[in-house]
Amino acid sequence: MCAGLETERKRVAYRASRRSMAETERIFQRFLDAELATLDGESCRSVLEFLERSDPDILDWLWGVKSPPDGLAHRWVAVLGRYRGEGGELAMAERAPVAVG
């Protein structure tokens, strides 16, 4: 593996693990554990561009609240959807308002 690709993978790992929402970090961590070593340079650059999106938007796209706005988002939402894990349903319940009464 060339040094440039290793550097790009480290950048992806760093950016994916420094998210504003814990649920997004967990999803990205599962993705990194499974696929980081297989990412090529183009995929690294693409996911880095995707990581510029806000966590609330990413979660809304993953849970189907909103549709991804472009091809880049569609691609990564499809990939990351496999890593929502069991916490996906719990995370959605945690985000829902709780009725008091």
State the chain's mean pLDDT as an integer: 85
Q: List, in order, residues 6 or more apart from 15 with CB less than 8 Å away.
A: 48, 51
Domain ranges of the chain: 3-94
Q: How confident is the model at residue 86 (pLDDT cuts 50, 70, 90)?
A: low
What is the pLDDT at residue 85?
A: 74
User: In this model, does residue 89 exceed pLDDT 80?
Assistant: no
Sign of the CA dihedral 48, 28, 19, 74? Answer: positive
pLDDT exceeds cutoff 80 at 96: no
The tokens describing 49, both together, are: 């561009």
Is residue 29 within 8 Å of residue 16, measured between CB atoms? Answer: yes
Q: Who has greater pLDDT, 96 or 52?
A: 52
Instruction: Give per-residue pLDDT as tens, 21-66.
Output: 999 999 999 999 999 999 999 999 999 999 999 999 999 999 999 9
CATH-assigned architecture of domain 3-94: Orthogonal Bundle (1.10)
CA–CA dist 101, 99 (Å, integer): 6
Per-residue model confidence (pLDDT) at position 95? 41
